[in-house]
Amino acid sequence: MPNFFIDRPIFAWVIAIIIMLAGGLAILKLPVAQYPTIAPPAVTISATYPGADAKTVQDTVTPGYRTEHERYR
C-alpha cells in the first residue's frame, strides 16, 4: 500500500486535502458551548417536630441547621 501512494504523490495530496476539509467541516458542526449550563448544587432539609406548628419549627430548629450550613460554605 505505501508503494501505491509513493508512485502517485498527487493522489496522496488529494486524499490528504479531502481529509483535512472533512475535519474542518466536522469541527464547525460540533455542538460545543463555551459556557455550558450547570445546575448549582442544592440541599434539601426536612425537619419534623411532633406537636409544633410551623412558626415554632422555624424559630427553634431552623437556626441550628443554618449555623451548621454556614460551616460548610
pLDDT higher for 10 or 70? Answer: 10
**The pLDDT value given to residue 48:** 81
How many domains are there within the chain?
1
Rounded to the nearest angstrom, the gap between the alpha carbon of residue 38 and the centroid of all alpha carbons in its chain is: 6
Q: How many angstroms separate the first and last alpha carbons of the chain?
A: 62
- Domain ranges, residue 40: 2-71
pLDDT band at 14 (very low <50, low <70, confident <90, very high): very high
**The pLDDT value given to residue 73:** 64
**The pLDDT value given to residue 19:** 98
pLDDT in tens, 18-63: 999 999 999 888 887 777 788 888 877 787 888 888 888 888 877 7
